[in-house]
Structure 1
Amino acid sequence: MNNVTCSKCAFFDLHSNGIQTPTQDGLCRFNPPVSQPSAQDHGLWPVVSTGDWCGHFSAGTTQTAAE
């Protein structure tokens, strides 16, 4: 199961919503951004750790070595 982590998913993004996060964190781009604090702010993508995993991961969504 350790081969299906967020860091190996095509929907994992190393950006961090403009806030400082530990180096092991990134964004999950599978679902749309979550609610925004106010109407003038942008929505926020869920922050996940590289070692996290979920049921959306599949072999068809893994990143290739060329990326």
Structure 2
Amino acid sequence: MVSASSACGNCAFFDEHHGNSAAATQDGGLCRFNPPVTQPTADAHGLWPVVSEKDWCGHFAPETAGGMTAAE
């Protein structure tokens, strides 16, 4: 079982961005562990995966002291 402290919202790779589109989620953010997902055309931008603060995965890394995250 995963601890609540190991949730995306507490991870160094979580970016408190409001998603990749205008439809923002209240507890959503971007996972910066992997590179953006590519798009079908060359002129389209890649998108970072949108996750909830309560989601989790096997790549959890605690936030660093001083408040800097991996996305900075």
TM-score tier (shorter): 0.7 to 0.9
Partner of 2:39: 36
Among 40, 43, 47, the alignment partner of 2:50 is 47
Structure 1: gaps spanning 5 or more residues:
none
The alignment partner of 2:4 has SS state of coil
Q: How many pairs does the alignment contain? A: 64
Report the alpha carbon displacement of residue 2 of structure 1 after superposing the two structures with TM.
0.9
TM-score by length of 2: 0.77
**1:66 is aligned to 2:66:** yes
Q: Distance in 2 between matches of 1:34 and 1:17?
A: 11
Among 7, 13, 17, the alignment partner of 1:11 is 13
Identity of aligned residues (%): 56
CA RMSD after TM alignment: 1.5
TM-score by length of 1: 0.82
The alignment partner of 2:5 has SS state of coil
Structure 2: gaps spanning 5 or more residues:
68-72
Amino acid at match of 1:4: S
Amino acid at match of 2:66: A
Q: Distance in 2 between matches of 1:37 and 1:20?
A: 21
